[in-house]
């Protein structure tokens, strides 16, 4: 995808020594700066605390959260993480890092994968959707990259992108991703972080493709959707399951209205598929 701003976000892992004096530490959280300012996130799974402390797990959780609030107050006071590689309230600040991440959620996943096998990735799945690109932004980036990739292979089809077509007699024209003499296509992005918006967008595009193909008498209509890989380490279990469910659901819905559905993993793969379909 193109032209999304990626910034370096400063952060430190926060470690905890469950049994004092043993030197064995586990990462319990992260302190970091993002667009909303300094923040902390506890990502240690609750079941780990229960396994360690049983009924006293709630007290351990409160202690960890309180210690993280001390680190947060220190970062806010100094507007820096430079001097927080120290021990406070039973936690220990790890090395200062700076990571290129498009969102706070992505940063926390990177931190979890680097330092912790005990992180609750499903909790990270539920981070604010405001950290994620909007559906419109994602579709715009994907469509632009797909178009550029297709034109590198066949510059003569430039006029087919972004063409308008009517769905019903006397109706207002609708802009499609691509329209040629035998193919009508829409492009979109399916995000497990924005599953509701992604599916609503897809349902609307399937309807437009069905109506447009029938009105224009075209032989083919296709929805090319950019998906995240099921084995993407940034996905938690819930997101991975939802990713698979959305792909299956859209395939079934598209088939029911005689529209082809092609899930792809990149804009370049989408461009290749579009060119193959248009030539067929």
- CATH number, residue 145: 3.40.50.10130
3-state percent helix, strand, coil for the chain, nearest multiple of 5: 50, 20, 30
Distance, in Å, from the CA atom of 258 to the CA atom of 156, rounded to the nearest integer, reads 28
Domain membership of residue 242 (yes or no) is yes
The DSSP result for 8-36, as a single string, is EEEEEEEEE-SSTTS---EEEEEEEEETT
- CB neighbours (10 Å) of residue 253? 17
Q: List the domain range (segments joined by +) for residue 108.
A: 7-131
Of 123-137, 153-167, 256-270, the poorest mean pLDDT is in 123-137
Domain boundary among 103, 131, 159: 131
Number of domains in the chain: 2
State in Å, rounded, how far the first CA of the chain is from the last one: 27
Domain membership of residue 211 (yes or no) is yes
pTM, 2 dp: 0.56
Give the residue-averaged pLDDT of 146-175: 89
Alpha carbon distances (Å) from 83 to 79, 96, 99, 258: 10, 9, 18, 62
Confidence of residue 1 (pLDDT cuts 50, 70, 90): very low
Confidence of residue 278 (pLDDT cuts 50, 70, 90): very high
Do 163 and 275 have their domain in common?
yes
Burial tier of 72 (Cβ tally within 10 Å: 0-12, 13-18, 19+):
middle
Residues in the chain: 280
Distance, in Å, from the CA atom of 82 to the CA atom of 151, rounded to the nearest integer, reads 48
**Residue with the two structure tokens 């709630």:** 58
Domain membership of residue 230 (yes or no) is yes
Do 167 and 195 have their domain in common?
yes
Do 142 and 266 have their domain in common?
yes
Do 74 and 154 have their domain in common?
no
Do 125 and 167 have their domain in common?
no
**Vertex 229, ends 115 and 109: CA angle to 5°?**
20
| Predicted pLDDT of residue 111 | 82
Confidence of residue 2 (pLDDT cuts 50, 70, 90): very low
Do 274 and 151 have their domain in common?
yes
pLDDT in tens, 12-68: 999 988 766 666 788 889 999 987 789 898 887 766 777 677 777 888 888 888 999
CB-based contact 223:209 (threshold 8 Å):
yes
Do 113 and 140 have their domain in common?
no
CB-based contact 135:44 (threshold 8 Å):
no
Give the residue-averaged pLDDT of 186-193: 88
Give the residue-averaged pLDDT of 182-186: 94
The DSSP result for 212-250, as a single string, is HHHHHT-SEEEEEEE---TT-TT--HHHHHHHHHHHHHH
Between 128 and 95, name the one with better pLDDT. Answer: 95
Share of the chain above pLDDT 90, in %: 42
Do 53 and 173 have their domain in common?
no
Do 78 and 149 have their domain in common?
no
């Amino acid at each position: 995808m193109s032209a999304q701003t990626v910034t370096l976000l400063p952060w430190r892992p926060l470690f905890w020594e469950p049994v004092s004096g043993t030197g064995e530490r586990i990462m319990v959280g992260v302190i970091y700066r993002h667009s909303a300012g300094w923040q902390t996130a506890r990502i240690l799974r609750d079941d780990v605390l229960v396994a360690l402390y049983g009924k006293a797990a709630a007290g351990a959780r409160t202690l960890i959260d309180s210690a993280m609030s001390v680190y947060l107050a220190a970062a806010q006071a100094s507007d820096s993480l430079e001097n927080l590689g120290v021990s406070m309230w039973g936690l220990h600040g790890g090395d200062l890092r700076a990571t290129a991440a498009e969102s706070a959620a992505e940063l926390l996943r990177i931190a979890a994968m680097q330092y912790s096998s005990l992180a609750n990735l499903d909790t990270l799945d539920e981070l604010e959707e405001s950290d994620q690109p909007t559906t419109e932004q994602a579709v715009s980036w994907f469509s632009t990259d797909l178009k550029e990739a297709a034109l590198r292979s066949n510059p003569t089809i430039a006029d087919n992108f972004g063409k308008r077509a009517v769905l019903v007699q006397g109706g207002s024209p609708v802009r499609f991703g691509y329209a040629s003499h035998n193919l009508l296509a829409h492009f979109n992005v399916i995000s497990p972080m924005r599953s509701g918006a992604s599916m609503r967008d897809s349902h609307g595009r399937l309807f437009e493709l069905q109506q447009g193909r029938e009105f224009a008498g075209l032989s083919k209509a296709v929805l090319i959707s950019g998906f995240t890989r099921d084995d993407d380490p940034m996905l938690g279990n819930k997101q991975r399951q939802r990713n698979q469910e959305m792909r299956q659901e859209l395939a079934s819905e598209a088939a029911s209205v005689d529209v082809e559905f092609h899930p792809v993993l990149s804009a370049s793969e989408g461009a290749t598929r579009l060119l193959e379909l248009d030539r067929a």
